[in-house]
């Protein structure tokens, strides 16, 4: 079972390349489901076939659906969200948690990913190809399970106990409404479990690969770099960069201007994404709409059919490791493209809070590192290294 996610800025070609990839897989005899979680659905347009919420077979071996879960659970989710914000406004919540909670994404995106998980678990397909929402939303969404998980472990049990203890008193005083009902705690726990299971699937490089689609223009490339860093921070495996709309050579000033500018961008991209394949997709003379045109796109991306397996598990890239160095431990995290100034690492209780270019990840440390103090950190060779030294006081107290 494999999941291949396509992400990138709006309009760069996510839907086109996701569709072409799914089509190539199906043509190779792999049972494939192509899903769109982008609320701006255009899979149906790219494939030139009407699509809905339930998968339909488009060509032999290729099913497609546009996930539209907006209406299904909206009310329930809003209840949970209101409750969370309510809790925050009552104060007493750690600022980190408060901030994480304010970036809760829209309900559609969460539910769309839950639907992806359900299709994966159902096991009816060999590969799921997912046309994701544009970068920013997808990222926030991918970070959610961990952010919430942290809240649920550290703060939530106390709140629940408190609510339980307070409810009879509040009810007696006629203010039972200020205490959240126990069913909300259950709903929140269920939601958190769901999200954790989504993350487990998506952050397993043996299951999921993320493909970054961009166009060779400085603004787009800059955003793709930020996305890439954030994906690495959260532990998602990017296995391919697709540079779309590459101008073929031409003689007029307009064309050669673009060709030269793109050549510079492509060289920079190859340098900054070193270690990752960067594939170019030429700017076609028409929109690649419909199965035949998309097969042409697949030929450009993956070689003339049947070509190589477009869903092959990439060579293992170790995203994080802990080694010993003398009497110290070194936690290493692969953080390509991050600049030193954009990285901050701080201990918060048993956790390590990493902030990279505005994205925050709360890492629950392995027990041996919890009994250590952070004695240094550096970013070099695209690696973040945080040094830990056993703290004798901490060892004694446990």
Ligand X SMILES: Nc1ncnc2c1ncn2[C@@H]1O[C@H](COP(=O)(O)OP(=O)(O)O)[C@@H](O)[C@H]1O
d(CA 120, CA 126): 9
Per-residue mark of binding to ligand X, 11-30 (x: CB under 6 A):
xxxxxx--------------
**CB 184, CB 83: distance < 8 Å:** yes
CB of 224 to ligand X, least distance (A): 12
CB of 51 to Mg ion, least distance (A): 13
Counting contacts by CB under 5 A, is residue 15 touching Mg ion? yes
Residue 246 Rama label (left phi>0; alpha psi -120 to 50; beta): beta
Q: Which residues, 228 to 257, sit near ligand X by CB under 6 A?
A: 244-245
Residues 352, 353, 355, 359, Cα dihedral to 10°: 120
> In which residue are the tokens 């270019």 written?
357
Instruction: Give the residue with the Cβ less far from ligand X, 19 or 209.
Output: 19
Residue-wise burial string across 24-53, b where 16 or more C-beta atoms lie within 10 A, e elsewhere: bbbbbebebbbbbbbbebbbbebbeeebee
> In which residue are the tokens 């939303």 written?
137
Bridge partners (DSSP) of residue 348 are: 351
The tokens for 235 are 């532990």
Instruction: Give the residue with the Cβ less far from ligand X, 284 or 307.
Output: 284
Closest CA to 53 of 38, 35, 40: 35
178: which DSSP letter? G
User: Applying CB under 6 A, what is the total number of residues that bind ligand X?
Assistant: 17
Counting contacts by CB under 6 A, is residue 288 touching ligand X? yes
Counting contacts by CB under 6 A, is residue 10 touching ligand X? yes
CB of 114 to ligand X, least distance (A): 22
Q: Using the rule CB under 6 A, which residue among 287, 344, 373, 378 binds ligand X?
A: 287
Q: Which residues, 31 to 90, sit near Mg ion by CB under 5 A?
A: 42
The site partner of 284 among ligand X, Mg ion, none (C-beta below 5 to 8 Å per kind) is: ligand X
CB of 320 to ligand X, least distance (A): 30
Instruction: Give the residue with the Cβ less far from ligand X, 135 or 229.
Output: 135
User: Which residues of the chain form contacts with ligand X (CB under 6 A)?
Assistant: 8, 10-16, 42, 244-245, 281, 283-284, 287-289
- List interacting residues with Mg ion (CB under 5 A): 14-15, 42
């Amino acid at each position: 079972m494999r999941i291949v996610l396509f992400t990138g800025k709006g309009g760069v070609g996510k839907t086109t390349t996701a569709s072409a990839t799914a089509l190539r897989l199906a043509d190779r005899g792999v049972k494939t489901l192509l899903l769109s979680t982008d609320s701006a659905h255009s899979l149906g347009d790219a494939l030139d076939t009407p699509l809905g919420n339930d998968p339909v077979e488009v060509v032999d071996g290729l099913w497609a659906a546009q996930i539209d879960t907006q209406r299904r659970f909206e009310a329930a989710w809003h209840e949970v969200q209101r409750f969370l914000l309510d809790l925050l406004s009552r104060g007493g919540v750690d600022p980190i948690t408060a901030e994480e909670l304010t970036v809760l994404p829209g309900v559609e995106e969460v539910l769309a990913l839950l639907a992806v998980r359900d299709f994966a678990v159902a096991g009816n397909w060999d590969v799921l190809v997912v046309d994701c929402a544009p970068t920013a939303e997808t990222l926030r969404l991918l970070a959610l399970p961990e952010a919430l998980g942290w809240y649920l472990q550290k703060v939530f049990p106390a709140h629940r106990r408190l609510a339980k203890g307070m409810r009879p008193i509040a009810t007696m005083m006629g203010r039972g409404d200020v205490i959240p009902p126990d069913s909300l705690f259950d709903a929140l726990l269920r939601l958190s479990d769901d999200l954790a299971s989504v993350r487990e699937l998506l952050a397993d490089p043996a299951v999921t690969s993320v493909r970054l689609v961009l166009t060779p223009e400085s603004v787009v490339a800059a955003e793709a770099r930020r996305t890439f860093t954030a994906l690495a921070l959260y532990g998602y495996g990017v296995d391919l960069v697709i540079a779309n709309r590459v101008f073929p050579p031409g003689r007029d000033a307009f064309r050669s201007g673009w060709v030269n500018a793109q050549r510079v961008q492509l060289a920079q991209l190859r340098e900054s994404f070193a270690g990752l394949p960067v594939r170019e997709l030429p700017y076609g003379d028409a929109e690649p709409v419909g199965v035949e045109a998309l097969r042409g796109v697949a030929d450009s991306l993956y070689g003339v059919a049947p070509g190589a397996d477009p869903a092959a598990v990439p060579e293992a890239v170790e995203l994080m490791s802990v080694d010993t160095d003398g009497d110290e431990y070194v936690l290493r995290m692969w953080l390509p493209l991050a600049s030193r100034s954009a990285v901050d690492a701080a201990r918060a209780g048993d956790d390590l809070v990493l902030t990279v270019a505005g994205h925050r990840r709360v890492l629950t440390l392995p027990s041996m590192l919890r009994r250590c103090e952070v004695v240094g950190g550096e970013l070099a060779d695209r690696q973040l290294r945080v040094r830990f030294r056993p703290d004798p006081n901490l060892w004694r107290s446990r």
